[in-house]
Structure 1
Amino acid sequence: MSAHTPPMDPNSSEATQPQLDRAKAEGDAYREALRYMAEEVAKDGGTQPAGDYIVGYAVEDAEGMYDFADGSLTWVNPDDENVHLEIVACDAADGRFVPCLNVTATLVSPSGETFGPHDQMLVWHPMLYHYARNWTLPEDGEYTLKVHIDPPTFMRHDEINGRRFTEPVDVEFTGVKIKRGAEPVEPPQ
């Protein structure tokens, strides 16, 4: 937790210790799912603290996803995209996923070429909510990943514990291992 992050105080009019314990349990489960995704599923991944957040990333092959447009879902496979970059933002106080964020990412290739910044969109995933998009990158190797998170505009419940997520955050990960690939699939009919 950063120095400007108020502690999660059970003495507020909105949060009791049993409520905060449940929030922490939810955060523990989310962080375990994040650990599994970053360390066991992804080609590369990691986390670091940043302000009121723990920010993480995972690199995978570009993948197909549903897009909701014109009132219906449409499956969209990668075209020339060859990397799927996932970003997560957890509450540093309790570990829970933070929704409704404006997250952008920039990648710098091993040869120094900059890609982005690109918006990372909220993705519903059966295991792990995250912000993601497919990217088109020119080479494999170790990249630098720069993540920017704007302060969210959502309402905050709790006069004591709600005074968080008010500053923009910038995080840099070096040595991000990228091996390009794509896994187009067709959804079940």
Structure 2
Amino acid sequence: MTTATGTPPHQPPAKPSDEADENQLKMAAEEGQKYLASLEYMATKVADTGGKTRAGDYIVGFAQERAEGMYHMKNGKLEWMEAPSDMNCHMEIAVADAADNRFIPYLDIDCTLSKDGTVVTSFKPDFLWHPGLYHYGKDLMLPDGDGTYDLKIKIAPPTFPRHDETNGKRFAEPVEVEFKGIKITTGHE
């Protein structure tokens, strides 16, 4: 079950303007359809658990997997680093524009995982490049391991400028989304 609070759903205009002609808006929507399909695939076929919901100007999704290794830049070179041994969960957060479904970068996101009404951990996910789905994410330690948790995601209004006087008035309010009763499987990949 998911619940979303924050700004009510609102569909920003998507009409040709001096910044975006009809063809550009069509291409953006096509790109967004592909992103949303990738999010759906990640959340329902690849991850241990996942989901998505609408909140204000956003579509917010999550996918949970076991802690995983990644490349990190070290001294000017990419170095593969296994997931730290003290981490047992990888939480991924995807945020898309509800008007065209495209990924939204540069967001300030705060997340909390709770179990039985008690906060287990809070985290700020980082942007993660992924070959199939740009997203935000973080490896975490869940001391209680496998179980049923609630995930709360808060997104602050982004500070980046928005092109287009006709289509650009969006992402102005904070949103909060809560996914209740998600079954998490911990471990390492």
Residue 110 (structure 2) aligns with: 104
The runs of at least 4 consecutive aligned structure 1 residues that moved more than 4 Å come to 1-5
Q: 1:55 to 1:3 in 2, by over 3 A?
A: closer
TM-score, normalized by length of structure 1? 0.90
CA RMSD of aligned residues (A): 1.6
CA distance in 2, matches of 1:65, 1:22: 32
TM-score, normalized by length of structure 2? 0.90
Q: 1:117-152 CA distances to partner (integer Å, 9 max, x unpaired)? A: 211000000010000000100221110000011111
- Asked if 1:59 corresponds to 2:55, the answer is no
Q: Which has the higher contact order (CA 8 A, sep 6+)?
A: 2
Residue 186 (structure 1) aligns with: none
Give the AA of the match of 1:161: N
CA distance in 1, matches of 2:10, 2:43: 28
Q: 1:90-143 CA distances to partner (integer Å, 9 max, x unpaired)? A: 00000000011111210002x433133211000000010000000100221110
Is the Cα contact below 8 Å between 1:53 and 1:92 reproduced in 2?
yes
SS at match of 1:154: coil
Is the Cα contact below 8 Å between 2:157 and 2:172 reproduced in 1?
yes
- Asked if 1:126 corresponds to 2:128, the answer is no
Q: What 5-or-longer segments of structure 1 have no aligned partner?
A: 184-189
Is the Cα contact below 8 Å between 2:53 and 2:60 reproduced in 1?
yes
CA distance in 2, matches of 1:153, 1:95: 20
Q: Which one of the candidate residues 150, 164, 171 is aligned to 2:170?
A: 164
Give the AA of the match of 1:23: A
Aligned positions, number: 181
Is the Cα contact below 8 Å between 1:6 and 1:160 reproduced in 2?
no
Residue 187 (structure 1) aligns with: none
Deviates more, 1:75-84 or 1:48-57: 75-84
SS at match of 2:39: helix
Q: 1:26-67 CA distances to partner (integer Å, 9 max, x unpaired)? A: 000001111110000001000000111000000001100112
Q: What 5-or-longer segments of structure 2 have no aligned partner?
A: 1-6
Deviates more, 1:131-140 or 1:64-73: 64-73
Residue 4 (structure 2) aligns with: none
